[in-house]
Structure 1
Amino acid sequence: MPDTTLPTPDTNALPVHVPLVTEPLGLFGSLRAARRNVLEILPHLAVTQPIVSGKMGIRWHMVMDPQAIRHILLEAVEDYPKSDVTKNLLRPAIGESLFIAEGAHWRWQRRAVAPVFSHRNVTGLAPVMSIAADRASARLAQVGPKAVDMADEMVRATFEVISDVTFSGGKSFDRDAVHRAIDAYISEAGKVSLLDILGMPDWIPRPGRLMSARTLKQMKAIADDAISSRRDRAPTDLPPDLLDLLLGAEDPQSERKMSDAELADNLLTFIVAGHETTALTLGWALYLCAFDPKIQEAARDEARALLQGRTATAEDVANLPLTRQIIDETLRLYPPAALVSRTAKRADTLCGREVRAGDTVMLPIYALHRNALLWDNPDSFAPARFADRKSIERYAYLPFGDGPRVCIGASFALQEAVIILATLLSRFRFTAVPGKSPKPVMILTLRAEGGIWLTVDPLD
């Protein structure tokens, strides 16, 4: 149920948000909007209604009703596979990895990989997150009181984490080159094509994806080389990293292990998803803290009282409730995967509406998280919503999805976000830069166009 204790916000003092559509755009208008920002095709009705349907070459439905979403993601998950648009965008980069695979091929990979992200393993990787928080703090301290693009800085910090937990003790590699390749692929290949919307076959070239395909060769070569080098490495006393855990992953039912090609695809999936989504969350969280200095100050007090000048660790995460609430509220307002698309395999009924086989069923997480039927003052920044997580309807809040395909790295991402955010807030004050508000733009993920520029003032 909505939190009725929240104050009515000043509508002139809301965090940045995407203006939703109030008039029909038409097919080509929608395509132009989607190329700029996928969220610009969302109708305003999506934040006031449980379902919105229409036709744009294909029949589509946007679902914001928690019970209907539960049906799609849990009860009838086999009837709603990922849409061809999603697969076409991502397959060139990550093949038939865990993120894209369906049916039996997905199930055995999920069983094999699940232990990799156990609580014990995720906690064991926390020191790398703490080191990255220290490195980010050192860089920020060097620039002094100055405007910094914190979106870019958080990308650097989280990429250090994912590369260190993946390649610890292995051969050196060009981090900047890998990140440029990932960034270029998301920026270009992620743009929705008319050919995707109309359901044209994969073999018809998509110009943007042909350009970005060149950047993929380097990513795949690095993944292949890392796997080959690790297989040939002599035993060491180093604690296992993500690559070691993947190499040892085995489906407990079939005892099947991943081939080198399957390992490379999943390794790239975790590298891309493992830093991009957490970096975005941290960048938006710092923007929101600068937007509301009182909440920032309260979170700083919490972090400083606990940390006493040291860096946050895995053991501290449970004792930083306000920091975690800020992360949760950030994921509500700016979910990295802001729109999820499925294709109905058979006829169904959602919210009393007919769904035919072949229809596209979209879960606009951005609109779900701002739907007035589910949230009070949905566009306001109010971390206290999450003081009692049991009060949040489960399928009204889906930053990591749900059901059997819930994000396998959710606990890793949350731990990393809390460790880095608490460390930074304990050491710096972040202030908005006038005239430099970020713009939420979704291609594959919900990024801040133009960066997140904040003045960073070191404390003490």
Structure 2
Amino acid sequence: MTDTAALPPPSPGYPPRVALARKPLGILGSAMTARRNVLELIPELAVRQPMVSGTLGIRWHMVMDPEALKRVLKDRVEDYPKSTVTRMILEPAIGDSLFVAEGAQWRWQRLAAAPAFAARHVEALAPVMTAAAETSAARIAGAPQPFDAFEEMVAATFEVISDVTFSGDEGFDRDAVHHAIDRYIASTARVSVLDVLGAPPWVPRPGRLVSGGALRRTKAIADRAIADRARRGPRLPPDLLDLLRAGVDPETGRSMNPAELRDNLLTFIVAGHETTALTLAWALYLVAFDPAVQDRAAAEVAGMDRITAADLPRLPYVQQIVQETLRLYPPAAFLSRTARRADTLGGREVRPGDTVMLPIYALHRHRLLWDDPDRFDPDRFAPGVDRDRFAFLPFGGGPRICIGANFALQEAAIILGTLLARFRFETVPGRVPYPRMILTLRPQGGVWLRATPR
């Protein structure tokens, strides 16, 4: 792949961006770069051209063209399954659950889980989000300043996902699950040189052999909570566990067994708290970075002591900030697929076995798709602004679009609105977060801010 060049400090209106690659590096250098930050493998050319292809152990194609992305994610989705590397990283933790399953195995799970994420159920879970937002505000008010907004948002969103998943069951050890997930990501989610070389899955990756104990303990905790719920019966109102237990594939009549419930619940816990926490942490940094945006959002939420789902239609600008944050710093910033059949994308030949990379980070900053794309501007998402559906993919696209997208957007808007109503945030000189992706796009060094009560 390619090497990187250092970037100057962010200038006004231009928050930190990844130093994209500028010259070839070779197999070993690419593997080392990928372990440090997957996004630094993206060539600078990728934000100026619709596709970039190459060979490095494996044949690969980076796709930034909306029409080609539509073909991969929607029109021929069965021909582009999740890549082998993605499955090797995630299957030990979440099995053949909704996120990694393919074909018929994916379809029946999606149909069975869909009712749990219907709009009425997502809205019914909003009080948990409001309560977590208020608890977070109380912690920030009592915290030494400056504070790490990323750590705080991780705590807030984990409260939400654990409460809406297991309703605070005593048998569900939140801290143990949280720490096990963190250890798993830190030890297994880095790309191996064997991945770059295209080695088959049965060749051991040493870094992925060290987290078995934490995974087994996490699954055991979830299994106990599921068994306990089966004995006690559903909660009122039902939580995500109850909704998934009741879910049935209307085509086959199949429902999830305890192991399938566990794997899907762990999927939602892993995906449902860190991704939203990242969105909120980056959003807080961006509003602190741009005081004019913060003032406009604060005016929108002024006087709102307790923000609920019913208030969201009156908070369009807060929701625009969330969307623009997802554009600049998409948590799932780099996706990959393995071509199953021969195809043509953007005029380029794709052979069976080729790796097709979907660098969402580059797509969202592409010079042909966005005006001044590195600038923070929530008005890009103002009502009536038109854009290609496949130019903005923070939750993916097509039939496999993230099932929890509306849940995440609702949670982010409630928590962000609550915090902006209660505090003014300022950046800390010399503490600029750098976007670094291993499994998700994290702020290296944390997001250090000062919060002043309004």
Q: Which interval holds the TM-score relative to the shorter structure?
A: over 0.9
Distance 1:429 1:384 in 2: 21
Q: Pairwise mapping of residues 419-434 of structure 1 onto structure 2 (< 5 A)?
A: 419-434=414-429
Distance 2:385 2:292 in 1: 25
Structure 1 position 75, deviation (Å)? 0.6
Residue in structure 1 matched with residue 5 of structure 2 by the alignment: none
Moved more, 151-160 or 213-222: 213-222
Give the letter for the 2:107 counterpart. R
Distance 1:322 1:235 in 2: 38
Structure 1 position 394, deviation (Å)? 0.6
Distance 2:368 2:186 in 1: 34
Residue in structure 1 matched with residue 244 of structure 2 by the alignment: 246
Residue in structure 1 matched with residue 162 of structure 2 by the alignment: 163
Structure 1 position 201, deviation (Å)? 3.4
Structure 1 position 311, deviation (Å)? 1.7
CA contact (8 A) 1:133 1:311 kept: no
Q: Pairwise mapping of residues 39-438 of structure 1 onto structure 2 (< 5 A)?
A: 39-143=39-143, 146-168=145-167, 170-234=169-233, 238-304=236-302, 308-388=303-383, 390-438=385-433
Name which structure has the greater RCO, CA cutoff 8 Å, separation 6+.
Answer: 1
Q: Where does the alignment leave 5 or more consecutive residues of structure 2 unmatched? A: 1-9
Distance 2:256 2:39 in 1: 36
Q: Could you list the per-position Cα deviations for residues 171-222 of structure 1 after superposition, in whole angstroms to 9, with x for gaps in the alignment?
A: 2433222111111111221000122233333333322221222211121011
Within the alignment, does 1:441 sit opposite 2:440 as a pair? no
Structure 1 position 271, deviation (Å)? 0.6
Q: Which secondary structure state, in structure 2, belongs to the residue aligned with residue 354 of structure 1?
A: strand
Give the letter for the 1:293 counterpart. P
Moved more, 280-289 or 175-184: 175-184
Distance 1:212 1:454 in 2: 33
Give the letter for the 1:422 counterpart. G
After superposition, the Cα gap between the structure-2 partners of 1:337 and 1:140, relative to the gap in structure 1 and judged at 3 Å, is same
Q: Where does the alignment leave 5 or more consecutive residues of structure 1 unmatched? A: 1-9
Moved more, 56-65 or 166-175: 166-175
User: TM-score, normalising length from structure 2?
Assistant: 0.96
Distance 1:12 1:28 in 2: 37
Quote the RMSD (CA, aligned, Å). Answer: 1.3
Distance 2:321 2:292 in 1: 12
Q: Which secondary structure state, in structure 1, belongs to the residue aligned with residue 333 of structure 2?
A: coil
Distance 2:193 2:383 in 1: 44
After superposition, the Cα gap between the structure-2 partners of 1:289 and 1:89, relative to the gap in structure 1 and judged at 3 Å, is same
Residue in structure 2 matched with residue 5 of structure 1 by the alignment: none
CA contact (8 A) 1:85 1:197 kept: no
Structure 1 position 142, deviation (Å)? 1.2
Give the letter for the 2:297 counterpart. A
CA contact (8 A) 2:52 2:63 kept: yes
Q: Could you list the per-position Cα deviations for residues 55-75 of structure 1 after superposition, in whole angstroms to 9, with x for gaps in the alignment?
A: 010100000000010111111
Q: Could you list the per-position Cα deviations for residues 322-381 of structure 1 after superposition, in whole angstroms to 9, with x for gaps in the alignment?
A: 100000000000000001100111111111111111110111000000000000100000
Distance 2:384 2:428 in 1: 33
Residue in structure 2 matched with residue 3 of structure 1 by the alignment: none
Give the letter for the 1:158 counterpart. T
Structure 1 position 260, deviation (Å)? 1.0
Distance 1:303 1:228 in 2: 42
Give the letter for the 2:424 counterpart. R
Q: Could you list the per-position Cα deviations for residues 292-329 of structure 1 after superposition, in whole angstroms to 9, with x for gaps in the alignment?
A: 0110011011011xxx2422101111210110000000
User: TM-score, normalising length from structure 1?
Assistant: 0.95
Distance 2:285 2:275 in 1: 16
Q: Could you list the per-position Cα deviations for residues 404-437 of structure 1 after superposition, in whole angstroms to 9, with x for gaps in the alignment?
A: 0000000000000000000000000110000000
After superposition, the Cα gap between the structure-2 partners of 1:309 and 1:387, relative to the gap in structure 1 and judged at 3 Å, is closer
Residue in structure 2 matched with residue 4 of structure 1 by the alignment: none
After superposition, the Cα gap between the structure-2 partners of 1:258 and 1:148, relative to the gap in structure 1 and judged at 3 Å, is same
Structure 1 position 129, deviation (Å)? 0.1
After superposition, the Cα gap between the structure-2 partners of 1:456 and 1:209, relative to the gap in structure 1 and judged at 3 Å, is same
Distance 1:193 1:392 in 2: 37
CA contact (8 A) 1:88 1:196 kept: no
How many residue pairs end up in the alignment? Answer: 445
Residue in structure 1 matched with residue 18 of structure 2 by the alignment: 18
Distance 2:251 2:390 in 1: 30
Give the letter for the 1:278 counterpart. T
After superposition, the Cα gap between the structure-2 partners of 1:139 and 1:24, relative to the gap in structure 1 and judged at 3 Å, is same
Give the letter for the 1:402 counterpart. G
After superposition, the Cα gap between the structure-2 partners of 1:172 and 1:136, relative to the gap in structure 1 and judged at 3 Å, is farther
Distance 2:50 2:11 in 1: 24
After superposition, the Cα gap between the structure-2 partners of 1:114 and 1:163, relative to the gap in structure 1 and judged at 3 Å, is same
Over the matched positions of the two proteins, sequence identity in percent amounts to: 63
Structure 1 position 110, deviation (Å)? 0.5
